[in-house]
Amino acid sequence: MAEPKATPIGPGVVQVVHDGRADIVYVAGTSDDRWAFSNGRVYRETAAPESPAKTRSGSRPHVSQALSAPMPATVASVSVQPGARVRKGDTILVLEAMKMELPLRAPADAQVVAVNCRVGELVQPGTLLVELE
Amino acid sequence: MPRIARLLIANRGEIALRIIRACREMGIESVAVYSDVDRASPHVAAADLAVRIGPAAAAESYLSISRILEAAQETGADAVHPGYGFLSENAAFADACERAGLIFVGPPAAVIARMGSKIEARRLMDAAGVAVVPGETPGDQSDAGIRRAIERIGRPALVKASAGGGGKGMRRIDADTDADEAIRGARREAQAAFGDGTLYVERALERPRHIEVQIFADAHGHVIHLFERECSVQRRHQKIIEESPSAAVAPGLRERMTSAAVAAARAADYRNAGTIEFLVEGSGDAATFFFLEMNTRLQVEHPVTEEVTGVDLVRAQLAVASGDPLPWLDRSLQLQRHAIEARVYAEDPGRGFLPQAGLLLLYREPRAPGIRVDAGVVEGGAVSPHYDPIMAKVIASGETRSIALARLSAALREYPILGIHTNVPFLLRVLEHPDFVAGRIDTTWLDREADALARNSDGEIPAFVRAAMETAAAGAAVRETQASTPDPWRTLTAWRG
């Protein structure tokens, strides 16, 4: 099979001739996080695995479970306090983004070690919100 | 009644742009309003004037009646268009506009209040001979009161915001659902989306189709309909794909539904554009339909009706609000084409449909015969986490359903959006599903299929895509060097603004 031949034909637009046909591919992003689109499909390649969750209160080596924000969101409610015992599936807190509620639930039976967010706070993706043990 | 000369648009995103477009065509000056995070949004740039109305939180900006009225006064606007969502079905807002001497582009406040009250709306429908789905707005709005209403109506039931639609604040209560958690979640969402946490409880029908009738009324006694739209493809009560005509509506059923809708609008003493939503059980002329609710505003999916009938609904809204008679006669309206709309949302179907926010690194809209794109975003712009995740609507039309469907699929295949995940790949899988192609759908269909359709089957990056990515990586080094030279226009905006 011949090597694909790629030719930029406009800003973010590449024509690739391969296997006897030509495809248009749209490309954007940086070398760390590159995106591409072709024929209704989206491809993404990140250089490193997603950076570890950012914590504000320093690292806690014994924490076995943590709930972090999957997206920019506002904290709508927090139903636990440090020290509380939770069961798998319990709602720990509720985030709100784009007018939709997203409950974050306990992944397993656990004890709450720390709650790092307040109701009404805008949190960023990866922010560690609740630590469980 | 005075002509509208300067219109304030109390909304953002694609619908604000749609209304600004109509203003431009009609020689009406447009006034945009914006929150702090929307300062650089396309609707602000497109309008003739723009006013900051508050911080990002909708409650202090797009839902603030006082801030919006101040903006209207400041700019000398003589009319207000509420768009959809936000304050569009808030009777107090319409009333405040009327009191401030502003034309509210929509029905009178009393009609919004009447149709917004599910009890009153159902009483009116009953009187007009239209069947209604069993349900109630409990007088006791406490958790226990709502719980008792659920048990009276029977499970499965739906708990939803009394004050608005769009699936916001709606929860399905099945036999095993934790009712209290659902009630509290529905109330919080209703409060956040509409500023009113009042809840309504109704029986959930089994596998109904969602079919709605567009109606329009003027101040001269004319009430007409513009046929139906089918919106059965919904994910958790959020419409995703809408079309007209409905594959499930035979001529006899269409006649019965549109007559009921016109009678209902007349009974409500309706004015301007509105939609009567029905749930339909069964098929053919034997199908039965139930009144679901009336939306006293322009709908997200209004372009579908515009494409099949060839009219401009927003233009007609502004004309009727100025006191003109309806621009069309009932008998001049025809279903000329088939149209299908797909809503493009900033969400990641591969990760539980999580809403996405961030910068649009690349955004190029498809252009082709029979394709219309109503969008509220631009390349280089941001999608904010603060508001509804709708980015754009792609509407395809053609002589037949299969032509419209083929055009919509082809357009979505040529709609690159990079930098955040969207539902475009998911939409394509929905449109190409044999059930959708055959029109075998109901309001629960997508919730049954969504997990399978959301699974990302892309897997490995194909060699030809990788080749394109590598070419771009080589080119990027050059562009980054160029970008480090300051752009005088960007530098200027700091003091121009």
Give the CATH number for residue B29. 3.40.50.20
Q: Are the CB atoms for A6 and A14 separated by under 8 Å?
A: yes
Closest by CA to B391, choosing from B14, B41, B12, is B14
Query: What is the interface size between A and B, counted as CB pairs within 8 Å?
Result: 144
Q: Are the CB atoms for A74 and A113 separated by under 8 Å?
A: no
Same domain, B219 and B349: yes
Same domain, B283 and B263: yes
Please indicate whether, in this complex, the C-beta atoms of A102 and B412 are within 8 angstroms of each other.
Answer: no
Amino acid identity of residue B492, one-letter, is L
Cβ neighbours, 10 Å, residue B295:
23
- The DSSP bridge partners found for residue B157 are B173, B203
Which among A23, A42, A72 has the least Cβ separation from residue B464? A23
The Cα–Cα gap between B228 and B243 comes to: 9
In angstroms, how far apart are the furthest CA atoms of chain A?
64
Q: How does B182-205 read in b/e, with b if 16+ C-beta sit within 10 Å?
A: bbbbbbbbbbbbbbbbbbbbbebb
In this structure, chain B runs to a length of: 497
Residue B319 lies in a domain: yes
Among A17-21, A93-97, B259-263, B359-363, the range scoring the smallest mean pLDDT is A93-97
Closest by CA to B50, choosing from B103, B11, B95, B15, is B11
- Shortest distance between the Cα of A107 and any Cα of chain B, in A, equals 16
- Per residue in B414-452, pLDDT (tens digit) is 999 999 999 999 999 999 999 999 999 999 999 999 999
Same domain, B183 and B219: no
Return the residue matching tokens 């997203």. Answer: A102
Residue B111 lies in a domain: no
What per-residue confidence (pLDDT) applies to B312?
98
- The DSSP bridge partners found for residue B281 are B288
Residue B120 lies in a domain: no
| Total domains present in chain B | 4
Which among B419, B458, B463 has the least Cβ separation from residue A28? B419
Residue B125 lies in a domain: no
Closest by CA to B446, choosing from B199, B209, B112, B93, is B209
The Cα–Cα gap between B341 and B346 comes to: 16
Please indicate whether, in this complex, the C-beta atoms of B193 and A99 are within 8 angstroms of each other.
Answer: yes
Residue B39 lies in a domain: yes
- Per residue in B46-101, pLDDT (tens digit) is 999 999 999 999 999 999 999 999 999 999 999 999 999 999 999 999 999 999 99
Task: Identify the residue among A16, A31, A32, A42 best suited for mutation to test binding to B, counting B beta carbons within 10 A and taking the highest.
Answer: A42
Which among A25, A26, A76 has the least Cβ separation from residue B188? A76
Task: Identify the residue among A1, A18, A23, A37 best suited for mutation to test binding to B, counting B beta carbons within 10 A and taking the highest.
Answer: A37
For residues B212-220, give the mean pLDDT. Answer: 97
Indicate left, alpha or beta for B17 from its phi (over 0: left) and psi (-120 to 50: alpha): alpha
- Average confidence score pLDDT of chain B: 92
What per-residue confidence (pLDDT) applies to A107?
81
Q: What are phi and psi of B421, to 5 degrees?
A: -80, 145
Element (H, E) at B378: none
Residue B45 lies in a domain: yes
Same domain, B181 and B282: no
Q: Mind listing the domains of chain A with CATH numbers?
A: 5-46 (no CATH), 65-132 (2.40.50.100)
Q: What are phi and psi of A123, to 5 degrees?
A: -115, 150
- CA B134 remoteness from chain centre: 25
- Which long-range contacts does B307-311 make (Cβ < 8 Å, 24+ apart)? B307/B244, B307/B337, B307/B339, B307/B372, B307/B395, B307/B397, B308/B227, B308/B244, B308/B245, B308/B335, B308/B336, B308/B337, B308/B338, B308/B339, B308/B397, B309/B226, B309/B227, B309/B333, B309/B334, B309/B335, B309/B336, B310/B336, B311/B226
CATH code for position B182: 3.30.1490.20
- Per residue in A27-80, pLDDT (tens digit) is 999 989 999 999 999 999 988 654 444 444 444 444 467 788 877 788 888 888
Q: How does B99-132 read in b/e, with b if 16+ C-beta sit within 10 Å?
A: eeebbbbbbbbebbbbbbbbeebbebbeebebeb
Alpha helix stretches (DSSP H) within B56-141: 65-75, 91-99, 109-116, 118-127
Tokens (6 digits) for B356? 């996405």
Please indicate whether, in this complex, the C-beta atoms of A72 and B185 are within 8 angstroms of each other.
Answer: no
The Cα–Cα gap between B235 and B445 comes to: 9
Residue B113 lies in a domain: no
The Cα–Cα gap between B469 and B481 comes to: 19
Same domain, B443 and B469: no
The rounded percent of chain B whose pLDDT value lies above 90 is 78
Same domain, B384 and B471: no
Which among B58, B418, B467 has the least Cβ separation from residue A16? B467
Residue A103 pLDDT more than 80?
yes
The rounded percent of chain A whose pLDDT value lies above 70 is 86
Same domain, B283 and B426: yes
- DSSP secondary structure code for residue A127 in this structure: B
Confidence of residue B459 (pLDDT cuts 50, 70, 90): low
- Shortest distance between the Cα of A64 and any Cα of chain B, in A, equals 23
Confidence of residue B476 (pLDDT cuts 50, 70, 90): low
Task: Identify the residue among B238, B345, B408, B471 best suited for mutation to test binding to A, counting A beta carbons within 10 A and taking the highest.
Answer: B471
Q: What are phi and psi of B192, to 5 degrees?
A: -70, -35
Structural domain for B478, as ranges: 463-492
Same domain, B370 and B296: yes
